[in-house]
Chain A
Amino acid sequence: MKSKQVYLDNASTTPVDPRVLKAMLPYFKERYGNPSSLHALGRESKNAIETARKNIAKHIGAEPEEIIFTSGGTESDNLAMFGIARAYKEKGKHVIVSGIEHKAILDACKKLEKEGFEITYLDVDKKGLVSLEKLSLSLRRDTILVSIMYANNEIGTIQPIKEIAKIIQEFKTVRHCEESATRQSEKTNRLLRLPHNDRFNNNSLFPIFHTDACQAASALPIKAKELGADALTMSSSKIYGPKGIGCLYLNKKYSSTGSLQAKIEPIIFGGGQERGLRSGTENVAGIVGFSEALSISEKKRVSESKRLIKLRDYFLRRIQKEIDGVLVNGDIKQRLPNNINVSIKGVEGESLLLLLDRYGIYCSTGSACSSLDLSPSYVLLSIGLPLELAHCSVRFTLGRYTKKGDIDYTMKVLVESVKKIRGISSIK
């Protein structure tokens, strides 16, 4: 069979768009100044990151000061979780997340539990969707933070972010009214010279709603305020930008002094860059590349999503038609345009991955054998997939450079590989 390279792992990372690389190159050799330096070279770098910040803010529907550059999705998620929880622990120590969040959220939660926070992990249904009712029931007076991902990296399920935001907003309003009432009675108490202990006076700010939009960006609308998110994580390496750069959007209500006594706590300390929220010399080339990548992906978003949905459905139809015993993992409709996640009965995922790899086809699997901790994907188990089928899962994520010919080639190899593995498999 003719050899070819087909990259179907775009949810892991994407190649850098040549235009992005071109925009970045001057910032390695000629415009290498430290943005904190006062001289011309430094000012040039400072200018570059502020221009990028404005551009990114525009695409997220935010103000430039609401963008905090970080080293990527993981750091943005960590900053949101730790930064918000630690800064506002006086307001409450309850946090809500979904059970299928990225590890950057879930592992941060484990650490927060050790710091005395209580975490509610919301179950998802068979399709991977969070129940709005369960969310409503989980909200408490001491809930300070809710983090629910926009779209899942493994099964591509898209959460109803706007509805989630609405529920949280309604809760904030009710809470605000309740607490205003309390303040009114406290006023009365004050008049009666009774003690009061209310340092903060705008309780409707909580809980803060954060969403991880790493997988959603380039496929779905990302205007934070329209979505109703107070904080939003983005990564450059999933949108054809460089690795090692991302940002956290944070509504300025929570990052400027404003009416609040506290702002979010940084997790990295030092030179006070990013208004003290993220120290460390800025990754200038990365920031410039991220900004360019976002411009390109936003320009292409609608047409590219349509193209990917067509191509993905063609691919999935062929898989279902040409291979028996295929189960689609996740929701069919509420799904990222580029995501296919299937379990192929009797075909262990790592074996399949390595056979495909031999023919230059790159994908991923939720099988235990491919993971570092030797347990199969927690996301697949969360949607109720039996262990035996989780081991047989394989994920194909299409991208900007995937063509129909790539899918046809993949199908040819896939059908043969499945046949081969089933032949030597001891379970049928």
Chain B
Amino acid sequence: MKQQKKSCSPDGAGWIYSETIKDHFFHPRNILLDETGYKADGVGTVGSPECGDVMIAWIKVDKKTERIKECKWRTFGCASAIASASMMSVMATEKGGMDLKTAQTLKPQQIVERLGGLPDRKFHCSVLGHEALREAVEDYLNKNGK
């Protein structure tokens, strides 16, 4: 297997993505390959195929602590969209899980930061991650009458 070692370069010279993005793109975390039988507490779908990005996020919520226990996803999109989704799912579930309020206010900049930056023109690709998460949290809240 050939791995190219080139540094992140925002001007498009060399590989335009950071090592973290490449890692998450080549090895996406928390993918839900098949949702049949997966009992999600909340689901969020954002984007459109015409725009080139569609993301679905599924979450399971710990009813006692109101924290996200699991966050799964699938994305149609470019490498940065996939890496952003993957990173979002990691952030939502790390350290005992993100509380719902934080999840609702997660900003794309926070995801991009954790990815080690995105080339400027790719920034918009990271927008889906936090939106899908927010939709999923809202879906959970609606379903539970909150």
Contacts and interface: CB of A to CB of B under 8 A. Distances in A.
A369 B122 contact: yes
B76 A426 contact: yes
B76 A425 contact: yes
A73 interface: no
B49 interface: yes
B74 A424 contact: yes
Contacts of A370: 78
Given A350-B79, A425-B74, A426-B76, A359 B2 contact: yes
Contact of B82 (A4, A351, A357, A391): A351
Interface in A2-61: 3-4
A83 interface: no
B50 interface: yes
Interface string B1-30: 111100000000000000000000110100
B40 interface: no
A372 B121 contact: yes
Given A3-B2, A425-B74, A426-B45, A391 B79 contact: no
B56 A426 contact: yes
Contacts of A360: 2
B121 A374 contact: yes
Given A368-B52, A424-B28, A424-B82, A348 B1 contact: no
Contacts of B26: 355, 358
Nearest to A388: B49
Please indicate which of the listed interface residues A4, A354, A374 has the most CB atoms of chain B within 10 Å of its own CB: A354
Contacts of B45: 426
A360 B26 CA distance: 15
A426 B50 contact: no
Contacts of B33: 423-424
B50 to A, nearest CB: 4
Contacts of B75: 424-426
Contacts of B107: none
Contacts of A357: 4
A425 to B, nearest CB: 4
Chain B interface size band reads 20 to 34
Interface string A333-356: 000000000000010111100110
A154 to B, nearest CB: 17
B125 interface: yes
Contacts of B77: 348, 351, 369
Interface string A381-418: 00000111001000000000000000000000000000
B52 A354 contact: no
B52 A427 contact: no
B101 interface: no
B31 interface: yes
A369 B52 contact: yes
B82 to A, nearest CB: 6
Contacts of B78: 348-351, 367, 369-370
A289 interface: no
> Which of A3, A4, A391 has the most chain B CB atoms closer than 10 A to its own CB?
A391
A387 B52 contact: yes
A81 B16 CA distance: 34
A245 B105 CA distance: 54
A425 B79 CA distance: 12
A266 B88 CA distance: 55
B124 interface: yes
Contacts of B49: 387-388, 391, 427
Contacts of B54: 426-427
Contacts of A376: 52
Contact of A3 (B1, B52, B79): B1
B55 interface: yes
A1 interface: yes
Given A358-B4, A360-B2, A387 B50 contact: yes
Interface string B53-86: 0111000000000000000011111111110000
B79 A354 contact: yes
B31 A424 contact: yes
A386 B76 CA distance: 16
23 contacts: A1-B1, A346-B76, A348-B52, A348-B78, A349-B78, A350-B79, A351-B25, A351-B77, A354-B79, A369-B52, A369-B78, A369-B122, A374-B121, A374-B124, A376-B52, A388-B49, A388-B50, A388-B52, A423-B31, A424-B33, A426-B45, A426-B74, A427-B76
Given A360-B2, A367-B78, A388-B49, 19 more contacts: A1-B1, A3-B1, A4-B2, A346-B76, A348-B52, A350-B78, A350-B79, A355-B26, A358-B1, A369-B77, A374-B121, A376-B52, A387-B50, A387-B52, A424-B28, A424-B82, A426-B45, A426-B54, A427-B76
Interface of A: 1, 3-4, 346, 348-351, 354-355, 357-360, 367-370, 372, 374, 376, 386-388, 391, 423-427
Query: Which 6 interchain pairs have the tightest Cβ spacing?
Result: A369-B78, A3-B2, A388-B49, A350-B78, A391-B52, A387-B50
